[in-house]
Amino acid sequence: MRPAPPAGEFVAPAGVVRPRGSSQGPREAPPVAPRPAPSEASPLPGSRSGPVRDELKICGLAAVRARFARDAGSIQRLFFDHATGQRVGVICKVLAQTKKIYRQVEPAELEKIAGSIHHGGIVAVVAPAALRVPTAADVRSWVQRGETVLVLDRIGNAHNLGAIARTAAFFGVGHVVIPDHPGAARPTDAAHRVAEGGLEHLTVWLVKDLTAFARELAGAGYDVVGAATRGAVSLRGGERRGEKGERKPIALLLGNEEQGLAPEVAAACSRMVTIPGSGRVESLNVSVAAAVLMWELLTRRT
């Protein structure tokens, strides 16, 4: 027996969505045509083997709800298992109104659609947004509003990018800047999955020259703080202030997982800081270091 849905909740039907005006009862599903076995000739909708490459798959209920709240129109298709279907009635109702596809599927099919076993019971196939290039006017507006900027120098692991984005959203950081570099991770399916909705609460920007951009941030009035594993001032060494004693907005720069900040990018920073530790291990994972630095620079001292 299927558990009764919460009172007032619209529950999506299993199988193919019934056209409006059908005479079938509300709990009956129309006949479903046999589905061909998955193959290169007949890929599953939204699967990695399919021909469409300009789509993004967002997995997990928190991430899907965050995308729905921010941009419901970007959701092209929605797939979910039975248990999660009891919790997304409102989303399905909106998709039905705009004639979008939503469907309950078996766990094995959901795994293939997601391209991962870590789908959290739901996958939204969305149109990805193009990454914008920040202009001088954008930077000036960030400074005027005192907004923190997080700059990532060739963070190569999409999981690290997602974890950093989740932490940034938690601390209220609204801007993440990445370089247009082949070694830099982009906000892919994996990054969105790990971010658990965090990427929906910030803007990811793309720049050609990270060194020039760091200098632009400093010239606009940012305290450009670079992270180093060693040889820099400890976080306990104080913070930079403006000429009149006011705190400058922070632009925090984090480097590649193995190489750290490029030397020319580090040279463009206002200062370099390091996280003091026991010395038993050389450094922290970059996403963990990002969390410590954001807490120390953005929250504890304010």
Sign of the Cα torsion 175, 72, 27, 9 reads positive
How confident is the model over 184-240, as pLDDT tens digits? 999 999 999 999 999 999 999 999 999 999 999 999 999 999 999 876 676 665 554
Structure tokens at 219: 């010239």
Average pLDDT, the chain: 83
Same domain, 216 and 268: yes
Q: State the residue range of the domain holding 199.
A: 136-300
Looking at the structure, tell me whether residues 258 and 152 fall in a common domain.
yes
Give the pLDDT of residue 277.
87
Say whether both 114 and 168 belong to one domain: no
Residue 8 has pLDDT above 80, yes or no: no
Taking 60 as the threshold, does the pLDDT of residue 279 lie above it?
yes
User: What's 12's domain CATH number?
Assistant: 3.30.1330.30
- The answer, yes or no, to whether residue 47 has pLDDT greater than 90, is no
Residues 76 and 163 in one domain: no
Distance CA 91, CA 12 (A): 9
Rounded Cα–Cα distance for residues 186 and 206 (Å): 10
Count of structural domains within the chain: 2
Are 61 and 180 found together in one domain? no
Give the tens place of pLDDT for each residue, 162-176.
999 999 999 999 999
81 and 160 within one domain: no
Same domain, 197 and 173: yes
Per-residue confidence (pLDDT) for residue 247, from 0 to 100: 82
What's the rounded Cα separation, in Å, for the pair 275 and 296? 10
Based on the domain organization, do 122 and 152 belong to the same domain?
no
CATH at residue 144: 3.40.1280.10
CA angle 9, 31, 52 (to 5 degrees): 80
Last residue of a domain, one of 105, 129, 153: 129
pLDDT at residue 232, rounded to an integer: 65
pLDDT tens digits for range 147-158: 999 999 999 999
Reply yes or no on whether the pLDDT at 42 is more than 80. Answer: no
41 and 68 fall within a common domain: yes
Q: Mind listing the pLDDT tens digit for each residue in 10-36?
A: 444 444 444 444 444 444 343 333 443
- Residue 175's SS3 state is strand
Is there a single domain that holds both residue 114 and residue 28? yes
The model carries a pTM of 0.78
Tell me which residue of 99, 98, 75, 105 sits closest to 13, measured CA to CA. 105
Measured between alpha carbons, how far is 120 from 267 in angstroms, rounded to an integer? 43
Look at residues 74, 95, 129 and tell me which one is the last residue of a structural domain: 129
Residues 141 and 225 in one domain: yes
Of 34-43, 95-104, 282-291, the poorest mean pLDDT is in 34-43
Examine the domain organization and report whether 178 and 274 are in the same domain. yes
244-255 per-position pLDDT tens digit = 556 899 999 999
Helix (H) or strand (E) holding 273: strand 271-274
The whole-angstrom separation of Cα 101 and Cα 19 is 11
- Structure tokens that stand for 197 in this block: 């909705």
Q: Of 80, 114, 129, which residue sits at a domain end?
A: 129
For residue 120, pLDDT beyond 50:
yes
**How much is the pLDDT for 37?**
36
Q: pLDDT higher for 114 or 20? A: 114
Cβ-contact 203, 173 below 8 angstroms: no
Ramachandran sector of residue 267 (left: φ over 0; alpha: ψ -120 to 50; beta: rest): alpha
